């Protein structure tokens, strides 16, 4: 049992780790016993305990250190993260096998979720998206305490909370903090440890060789160490069981490829948070360049082989999609526009998104269907959008609507001759070969330059990137059968309805609280505001993603994962929320300011509400990551309304407002809410603006919308 004495705030010498530390360990993240996250609310990343035999100096107990995850499989904002871990048998659960259970903590620069407990005694631990199978490197820097048994799970949770704080304070010391940052001024031994910590090339090479061996030998790749459950050895029925699971709910495999050795971590994380199983495939192409251009045909075949290797590893029924940038985008377009065949080169590809394909597109096709040699002034003007806005072009097809076609989406930057040539030649190529089993949708962004969709690029254009993201996300999700198929991330309309339920509950509770105390009323509004903010990005509450298995079908229980045959995983999105009423600039850009806005200023929060207040939905347009609501708001202006008419005392006038709410979503969370309305019409109706000599109207404009 744990001794009843105060805990030391830090462990280990202030001068830095002393022998035997630091200690290196590594391995793929495997499934544990399923208790940490489900029963204790403490997510852990388990790695195989095989390497413990090489470190007899590691007794059972609790340690602290730093970890890194392979960025090609899982990308986070910080390459190296602080961690606390247990090595042993966990006496509280009476484990019979030794395990290594790692809890990855937030960056030291971020607030600590375990610094305090809530008023009801609950502890919130840091959560990350699921990353099973991702290679993990661990550097143990110090020892905290031995293992103990506990009289209750609450006592265990409290001790783990203190472990997190001890680890955090210990790592904040300069001699330990240096292991979290790649700094060329650090001591040589520290730099060497960091190089090992962030190096995953050999691991990826071993995976590649294992895939090749399993494919050539006809073995079942699912019986490798990465897929073997910790609790039991593989059985003869494992292959068929996994196949049934894949058919019931196959993973949405998404491969990103570009011509750089690594890629923007934010994009990888965001795709993963949207429910895709993401892997980055760097492809530099041939290096035997002549006049700055490699052998395009050879490069194309190499890239095709790289994707065919991934196809070989798929289970029956599984499909995949590709998002390609720069040179790989160009090569994959070449692959799909070869003149000698109408067959798609990748049979199990369900969607292809190509961002700013670069390079001279010297296809082996005939002159008439060559990508860049044919130009048409009329088509070029239509494709590039000379008016200064984005535009689109879709290639024709001779297939009836009942025939499924591969969707290829192309995003082109700028208004150059090359850009218009690509769009024009895609049209000509399809006309010359109308039996191609795909359709190309070309979008142009005249105001942007190549790499506009990559935040790490100097050419990053937030507006074009946001628009391209919505288009690409819809294509990818539809390629995997959305909206007819089950998706791991909650449907945006379900999230939005839950958002409105909280708003409506806030309004009704405010009305019913008129007879109660002012304190009760304020507490209720604050509670509802906290619920609303919890549905937004940046809340720290994460997003619950459901995984459906063949044991049953999941019901759509938002954020709970309830339903037979489901498991839930939590994904945290590091993005700032925005709520803004555009005509008055009311709202907020942080969880605290948004909470204050919904508590005191929003149209459903003032208490008591204006007389006769009513709000009605007129129309709704829904996309994969966006909803546009058209609403009718009516009320009598007998109360102050700070969000609509700030600093204006009540006038007693009846008012009608046509509201437009635009909500965007990231991974099942509300990211931005923009509210628009005709403020001049409102001012005319309350009598503070005269329409004489001005191009404004009053309530009649709203009446036309309704009628």
In tens, the pLDDT along 538-547 reads 754 444 444 4
Per-residue pLDDT, 516: 53
Architecture of domain 573-706: Roll (3.10)
Looking up tokens 């472990």 gives: 163
Q: Is residue 475 packed enough to be buried (19+ CB in 10 Å), middle (13-18) or exposed (0-12)?
A: buried
Per-residue pLDDT, 258: 94
Do the beta carbons of residue 568 and residue 542 sit within 8 Å? no
Other C-beta atoms closer than 10 Å to the C-beta of 341 total 11
Rg, C-alpha atoms of the chain: 29
406-413/578-581 β-pairing: unpaired
- Give the bridge partners for 143, in sequence order: 63
Per-residue pLDDT, 489: 83
Known catalytic membership, residue 101: yes
Distance, in Å, from the CA atom of 69 to the CA atom of 107, rounded to the nearest integer, reads 14
In tens, the pLDDT along 302-356 reads 999 999 988 888 887 789 999 999 999 999 988 887 766 667 788 889 999 999 9
Superfamily of domain 253-287+294-359+404-486: Alpha/Beta hydrolase fold, catalytic domain (3.40.50.1820)
Per-residue pLDDT, 230: 33
| Residue numbers in the chain where pLDDT is lower than 50 | 205, 208, 211-247, 289-292, 360-388, 510-514, 540-572
Helix (H) or strand (E) holding 294: none
Q: Parse the chain into domains and list their residue ranges.
A: 23-203, 253-287+294-359+404-486, 573-706
Contacts of 379 (CB under 8 A, 6+ apart): 393, 420, 423, 424, 427
Distance, in Å, from the CA atom of 704 to the CA atom of 707, rounded to the nearest integer, reads 5
Do the beta carbons of residue 588 and residue 575 sit within 8 Å? no
Do the beta carbons of residue 159 and residue 42 sit within 8 Å? no
Per-residue pLDDT, 469: 95
Per-residue pLDDT, 79: 82
Which is the catalytic residue, given 18, 101, 309, 575?
101
DSSP state of 180: G
- Cα 281 → chain centroid: 18
Superfamily of domain 23-203: Riboflavin kinase-like (2.40.30.30)
Distance, in Å, from the CA atom of 588 to the CA atom of 580, rounded to the nearest integer, reads 6
Q: Which two tokens stand for residue 438?
A: 């795909």
Sheet holding 391-394, edge to edge: 277-282, 253-258, 320-325, 349-355, 406-413, 438-445, 391-394
Long-range contacts of 457-465 (CB under 8 A, 24+ apart): 457/264, 459/413, 464/390, 464/413
Per-residue pLDDT, 706: 92
Confidence (pTM): 0.59
Per-residue pLDDT, 318: 86
């Amino acid at each position: 049992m744990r001794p009843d004495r105060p805990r030391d705030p830090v462990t280990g010498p202030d001068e830095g780790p002393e022998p035997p530390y630091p200690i290196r360990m590594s391995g793929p993240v495997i499934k544990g016993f399923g208790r940490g996250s489900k029963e204790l609310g403490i997510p852990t990343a388990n790695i195989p305990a095989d390497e413990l035999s090489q470190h007899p100096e590691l007794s059972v107990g609790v340690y602290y250190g730093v970890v890194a995850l392979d960025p090609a499989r899982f990308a986070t904002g910080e390459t190296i993260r602080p961690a606390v871990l247990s090595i042993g048998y966990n006496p509280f659960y009476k484990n019979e096998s030794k395990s290594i259970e790692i809890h990855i903590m937030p960056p030291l620069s971020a607030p600590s979720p375990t610094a305090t407990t809530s008023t009801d005694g609950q502890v919130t631990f840091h959560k990350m998206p699921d990353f099973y199978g991702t290679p993990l490197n661990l550097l143990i820097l110090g020892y905290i305490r031995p293992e103990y048994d506990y009289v209750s799970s609450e006592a265990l949770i409290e001790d783990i909370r203190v472990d997190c704080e001890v680890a955090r304070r210990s790592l904040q010391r300069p001699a330990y903090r240096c292991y979290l940052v790649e700094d060329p001024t650090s001591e040589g031994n520290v730099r060497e440890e960091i190089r090992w910590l962030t190096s995953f090339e050999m691991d990826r090479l071993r995976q590649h060789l294992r895939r090749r061996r399993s494919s050539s030998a006809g073995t079942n790749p699912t019986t490798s160490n990465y897929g073997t459950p910790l609790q039991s050895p593989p059985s003869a029925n494992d292959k068929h069981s996994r196949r049934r699971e894949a058919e019931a709910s196959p993973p949405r495999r998404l491969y990103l490829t570009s011509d750089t050795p690594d890629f923007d971590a934010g994009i990888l994380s965001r795709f993963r948070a949207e429910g895709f199983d993401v892997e980055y495939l760097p492809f530099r192409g041939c290096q035997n360049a002549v006049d700055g251009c490699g052998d395009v045909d050879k490069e194309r075949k190499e890239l095709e082989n790289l994707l065919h290797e991934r196809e070989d590893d798929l289970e029956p029924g599984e499909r995949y999609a590709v998002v390609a940038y720069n040179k790989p985008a160009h090569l994959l377009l070449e692959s799909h526009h070869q003149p000698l065949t109408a067959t798609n080169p990748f049979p199990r590809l369900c969607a292809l998104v190509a961002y700013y394909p670069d390079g001279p597109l010297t296809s082996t096709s005939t002159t008439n269907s060559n990508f860049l040699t044919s130009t048409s002034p009329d088509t070029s003007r239509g494709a590039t959008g000379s008016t200064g806005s984005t535009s689109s072009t879709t290639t024709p097809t001779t297939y009836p609507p009942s025939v499924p076609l591969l969707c290829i989406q192309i995003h082109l930057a700028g208004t150059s001759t090359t850009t218009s040539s690509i769009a024009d030649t895609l049209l000509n190529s399809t006309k010359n070969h109308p039996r191609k089993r795909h359709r190309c949708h070309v979008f142009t962004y005249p105001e942007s330059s190549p790499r506009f969709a990559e935040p790490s690029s100097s050419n990053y254009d937030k507006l074009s990137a946001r628009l391209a993201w919505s288009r690409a996300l819809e294509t990818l999700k539809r390629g995997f059968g959305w909206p007819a198929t089950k998706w791991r991330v909650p449907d945006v309309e379900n999230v939005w309805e839950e958002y409105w339920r909280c708003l409506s509950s806030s309004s009704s509770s405010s009305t019913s609280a008129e007879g109660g105390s002012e304190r009760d009323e304020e507490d209720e509004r604050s509670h509802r505001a906290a619920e609303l903010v919890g549905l937004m990005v940046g809340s720290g509450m994460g997003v619950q993603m459901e995984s459906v298995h063949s044991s049953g079908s999941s019901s759509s229980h938002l954020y709970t994962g309830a339903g037979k045959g489901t498991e839930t995983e939590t994904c945290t999105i590091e993005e700032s929320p925005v709520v803004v009423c555009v005509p008055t600039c009311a709202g907020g850009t942080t969880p605290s300011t948004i909470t204050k806005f919904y508590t005191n200023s929003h149209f459903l929060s003032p208490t008591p509400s204006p007389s006769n207040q009513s709000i009605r939905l007129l129309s709704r347009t829904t996309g994969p990551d966006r909803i546009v609501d058209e609403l009718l708001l009516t009320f009598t202006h007998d109360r102050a309304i700070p969000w609509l008419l700030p600093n204006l005392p009540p006038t007693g006038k009846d008012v009608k407002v046509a509201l437009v709410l635009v909500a965007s979503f990231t991974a099942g969370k509300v990211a931005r809410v923009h509210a628009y309305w005709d403020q001049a019409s409102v001012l005319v109706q309350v009598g503070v603006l005269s329409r004489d000599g001005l191009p404004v109207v009053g309530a009649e404009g709203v009446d036309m919308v309704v009628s």
